[in-house]
Amino acid sequence: MAERFEVYQCGVCGNVVGMLIAGGGQLTCCNLHGLWTQEV
Ligand SMILES: [Zn+2]
Protein backbone atom coordinates (compact mmCIF):
# COMPACT_ATOMS: atom_id res chain seq x y z
CA MET A 1 0.00 0.00 0.00
CA ALA A 2 1.53 3.26 -1.09
CA GLU A 3 1.46 6.23 1.18
CA ARG A 4 1.03 9.64 -0.30
CA PHE A 5 1.69 12.96 1.31
CA GLU A 6 -0.71 15.46 -0.14
CA VAL A 7 -1.30 19.12 0.54
CA TYR A 8 -4.74 20.64 0.47
CA GLN A 9 -5.98 24.18 0.88
CA CYS A 10 -9.26 24.97 2.58
CA GLY A 11 -11.58 26.77 0.19
CA VAL A 12 -13.00 28.94 2.97
CA CYS A 13 -10.14 30.27 5.08
CA GLY A 14 -7.18 29.33 2.92
CA ASN A 15 -5.65 27.15 5.57
CA VAL A 16 -3.12 24.76 4.04
CA VAL A 17 -2.94 21.30 5.50
CA GLY A 18 -0.59 18.53 4.57
CA MET A 19 -1.52 15.02 5.47
CA LEU A 20 -0.61 11.46 4.84
CA ILE A 21 -3.40 9.68 3.09
CA ALA A 22 -3.27 5.94 3.33
CA GLY A 23 -6.44 4.34 2.13
CA GLY A 24 -8.53 7.44 2.55
CA GLY A 25 -8.67 10.36 4.90
CA GLN A 26 -11.03 13.09 5.91
CA LEU A 27 -10.09 16.72 5.97
CA THR A 28 -12.00 19.07 8.18
CA CYS A 29 -11.70 22.80 8.63
CA CYS A 30 -14.27 25.52 9.26
CA ASN A 31 -16.67 22.68 10.09
CA LEU A 32 -16.91 21.92 6.39
CA HIS A 33 -16.15 18.92 4.25
CA GLY A 34 -15.30 18.75 0.60
CA LEU A 35 -14.18 22.30 -0.07
CA TRP A 36 -10.51 21.44 -0.34
CA THR A 37 -8.32 22.27 -3.28
CA GLN A 38 -5.36 20.02 -3.84
CA GLU A 39 -2.08 21.85 -4.12
CA VAL A 40 0.18 20.06 -6.59
ZN1 LIG B 1 -10.84 26.53 6.83
The b/e string for 20-40 (b: 16+ C-beta within 10 A; e otherwise) is eeeeeeebebeeeeeebeeee
The predicted structure's pLDDT at residue 29: 81
Domain tally, the chain: 1
Give 23 Cα–ligand 1 centroid separation in angstroms.
Answer: 23
Give 5 Cα–ligand 1 centroid separation in angstroms.
Answer: 19
What 3 state SS string does 1-40 have? CCCEEEEEEECCCCCEEEEEECCCCCCCECCECCCEEEEC
The predicted structure's pLDDT at residue 22: 54
**What range defines the domain where residue 29 resides?**
4-39
Give 1 Cα–ligand 1 centroid separation in angstroms.
Answer: 29
pTM for the model stands at 0.54
Give 27 Cα–ligand 1 centroid separation in angstroms.
Answer: 10
The predicted structure's pLDDT at residue 32: 62
pLDDT in tens, 1-40: 666 778 888 888 888 888 776 555 667 788 766 677 887 7
| Domain at 14, CATH number | 2.20.28
The predicted structure's pLDDT at residue 33: 61
Give 8 Cα–ligand 1 centroid separation in angstroms.
Answer: 11
